[in-house]
Copies of this chain bind each other. A is one copy, B any other.
Amino acid sequence: MSDSVATAVAHPNIAFIKYWGNRDDSLRLPANGSISMNLGALETRTTVAFSSACRSDRVSVNGSLSEGEALIRVANFMDRIRSLAGEKRFAEIESQNNFPIGAGIASSAAAFAALALAGSTAAGLHLNEAELSRLARLGSGSACRSIPTGFCEWLAGDSDEESIAVSIAPPDHWALTDIIAVVSARHKEVGSSMGHQRAMTSPYQAIRVATAPERLLECRTAILKRDFDRLASISEKDSTMMHGVMMTQEPPLFYWEPASLKIMKNIMQWRREGIPCFFTLDAGPNVHVLCPKEVEKELKGRLGNLSEVENLLSSGPGDAAHLVD
C-alpha cells in the first residue's frame, strides 16, 4: 500500500530565546514563548511505514533499535496519530540523523518534527503547518519550532490549539551561521523533559517567565532588522538566565561543563576584540556560536585551536520540515 509510507526531513533548531518549563506538562504548553533558527545543514530523515504485518511499533535511530522509554515515547506519539487518522496498524519507523544525538543539539526537536510530518502523511492525514506544529509539540516541545521555515517563534498560547510555532523570517532573510562547538557527545545525564518539570523549583523561574515577553520583542526586532549586536546581547542574556534557573532548581542541573565556560569566556573576549559573535547553550554542554557568515572561517579557526573543542559543526538557517521521496 503506497499511501501508507512517507519520508520527511526536519532540521534541529537553536533557540535565541529559550523554552524552559511548562504550564502544562502533559500538553507541553510552555511557560513562555521562544524564538529559534532552524539549522539547515543538520537533519533528521524519518520514514514511517504502517503495515498490518507489524505487531507493535518498531523504531530504529541511526540503525539501532529503540527500546524502553525512548520507544514508549514514540509509540505514544504514534497512538496520537493513529487516533487522529483512524489508523489501526502499527508502523516501522526508521530515522537517520547526520549529527550526534543527546548532547544538546536538540535531536528530539528534529526527530519529532520529522515524525509528525512523516507519520501523519503515512496515515493519510493532510495537516497544515499549524496542525503539524501542534502535533510535533506534543512529542517534544521545541519540535514545534522545526516545522515552519527559517526563523521561528513558538507562541506560548493559552491552549493546545494556540500553542504553535510560526515563521517570522525565511532562511534567506539573514546569513547567520551557527558554529556548534562540540565539547562532549556523551549522552547527557539528565534529559530535558524531567528538567522542564522541575523548573518551578528555581526561585528564578517565575521572573524569567514574567520578563520573557520583553526579551521576545527585543529578539524578534533584532532578527527583523538584522541587528547583530542586539541579537547577541539579548540571546546571551536569555541563555544565561535559563542556565541560572537550571542551576538553582532542585535538584540543580549544571549543563555547563568547564569546557563550555572556557568557550563562552573566549567568545565574550573575541567580541570585545571586535569580532561579531555570541554564545547560546541549550540543555547540554555544547556551545552554539552565532556569527555573520563572513566571520565563520575566522571563528572556526579560533575555536578549533581550543583544546576543549572536540569537533565543530556549522549551519546556516534551514527550511521547513518537508516530505521527500
Contacts and interface: CB of A to CB of B under 8 A. Distances in A.
25 contacts: A203-B207, A203-B208, A203-B211, A203-B241, A204-B207, A204-B244, A207-B207, A237-B248, A237-B252, A240-B247, A240-B248, A241-B248, A244-B247, A244-B248, A252-B268, A254-B261, A254-B264, A254-B268, A256-B261, A257-B265, A258-B258, A258-B261, A258-B262, A258-B308, A261-B261
Contacts of A252: 236-237, 240, 268
Contact of A207 (B206, B241, B258, B268): B206
Interface in A164-207: 203-204, 206-207
Contacts of A254: 261, 264-265, 268
A308 B261 CA distance: 14
Interface of A: 203-204, 206-208, 211, 236-237, 240-241, 244, 247-248, 252, 254, 256-259, 261-262, 264-265, 268, 308
Contacts of A204: 204, 207, 241, 244
A268 B240 CA distance: 21
Nearest to A208: B203
A93 to B, nearest CB: 37
Which 8 pairs of residues, A with B, have the shortest CB-CB distance?
A: A244-B244, A258-B258, A258-B262, A258-B261, A240-B247, A204-B204, A203-B211, A261-B261
Nearest to A263: B258
Given A203-B241, A244-B247, A258-B262, 5 more contacts: A240-B247, A252-B268, A257-B265, A258-B258, A258-B265
A212 B262 CA distance: 31
A258 B247 CA distance: 16
A132 to B, nearest CB: 34
A181 to B, nearest CB: 13
A237 B211 CA distance: 22
A248 to B, nearest CB: 5
